[in-house]
Amino acid sequence: MIGASLGAAAYERASEISAILAVANPVGDRRLARLSSRPDVVLALSGIGISFGGVKALSDVDLEVEVGEIRAVIGPNGAGKSSLINIISGLYHADRGRIAIGGQSFSRVPASRLARLGVARTFQNLALFGGLSVRNNIACGRVHTRRASFVEHIAGLPRARSEDAGIAEKTDQIVAFLHLESVADRLVATLPYGLQKRVELARALVAEPKLLLLDEPMAGMTATEKAEMAGFVRAARDRHGVTIILIEHDIGVVMGLSDRVAVLDYGRKIADGTPAEVRADPAVIRAYIGTAEGENGEDI
């Protein structure tokens, strides 16, 4: 017992030191520079760490995401998956490490410029605009392309009108793509949960992002809804070529959908590889044994 805790303490210490080194050490930065200049790497994280109070939500996480892949991030509850996505989208600021998005490197991603950087996301807990219709929620996803001022809108000047028309057209396309026609004019707050999740995906897709971050898009859905959603995610990649980071607990969905899988546990990346490699990885198996979700077989 004592030995184990001493060992853990030593490990902590060592990782702290290496984290400090990672900050001071230009090697990490150079690696990032090399990666971010590679055209096939959409996103590169290096040495990401963040803590809340005493909780280390993430420590020293590296991740590279290549163009056109569906990259799953899995891990038990509290492993730091959402934190990772929040750091990429600029909602959390990492204590350590750098993030490179499409060749631009940041220590803090500016959330307000995220859409223009070509990144869109959905949220683990629904984050729709309850007071707007489905169509208007989706149309908001293209707000970053608007230039017309409020005066032009009130007066109905040509630029405002042509922007509206262009966005309406794109919205219609996404509505059709995700089969939302029958509810398009309903207030989004009145929809069932599964459909709201789909509207959120639509709002992200309409921005035509290069990189799409999905935080548990299928959580709380029935099996049929999940299958349908998985179909949409795959179709989004296949038809629009968007690169996807997918957080998901349902291991069946993950294995079927993703090209590569990264596994987080207690804020560390413990495995990264193809679904088959990850599934066979002893560290992953160990991490999942004993967690509540490990018990019901299908979900991890």
Q: Which stretch binds ligand ATP (CB under 6 A): 79-87, 111-119, 140-148, 220-228?
A: 79-87
Q: How far is the CB of 274 from ligand ATP (least distance, A)?
A: 22
229 binds, among Mg ion, another protein, ligand ATP, none (CB under 5 to 8 A by kind): none
Binding residue for ligand ATP (CB under 6 A) from 2, 24, 26, 52? 52
Residue for token pair 């859905």: 221
Q: How far is the CB of 211 from ligand ATP (least distance, A)?
A: 19
Pairing of strands 211-215, 119-121: parallel
Sheet of 104-106: strand order equals 55-66, 41-52, 96-101, 104-106
Binding residue for Mg ion (CB under 5 A) from 36, 59, 82, 86? 82
Of 70 and 79, CB closest to ligand ATP:
79
Of residues 114, 104, 116, 119, the one with CA closest to residue 210? 119
CB 63 within 8 A of CB 261: no
Residues with Cβ within 8 Å of 115's Cβ and at least 6 positions away in sequence, in order, are: 143, 144, 207, 209
Tell me the CA end-to-end span of the chain in Å, nearest whole number: 28
Pairing of strands 96-101, 41-52: antiparallel
Q: Which residues bind another protein (CB under 8 A)?
A: 52, 82, 86, 89-92, 111-112, 114-116, 120-121, 123-125, 127-132, 136, 139-141, 143-144, 146, 148, 150, 153-154, 156, 160, 163-165, 168-169, 203-204, 207
Q: Which stretch binds ligand ATP (CB under 6 A): 74-82, 160-168, 188-196, 285-293?
A: 74-82
77 binds, among ligand ATP, another protein, Mg ion, none (CB under 5 to 8 A by kind): ligand ATP
Q: How far is the CB of 293 from ligand ATP (least distance, A)?
A: 9
CB 87 within 8 A of CB 50: yes
296 binds, among Mg ion, another protein, ligand ATP, none (CB under 5 to 8 A by kind): none
CB 199 within 8 A of CB 128: yes
Of 79 and 233, CB closest to ligand ATP:
79
Q: CB count, 10 Å around CB of 249?
A: 18
Joined tokens for residue 18: 């290496």
Binding site for ligand ATP (CB under 6 A): 52, 55, 57, 75, 77-83, 124
Residues that bind Mg ion (CB under 5 A): 82, 124
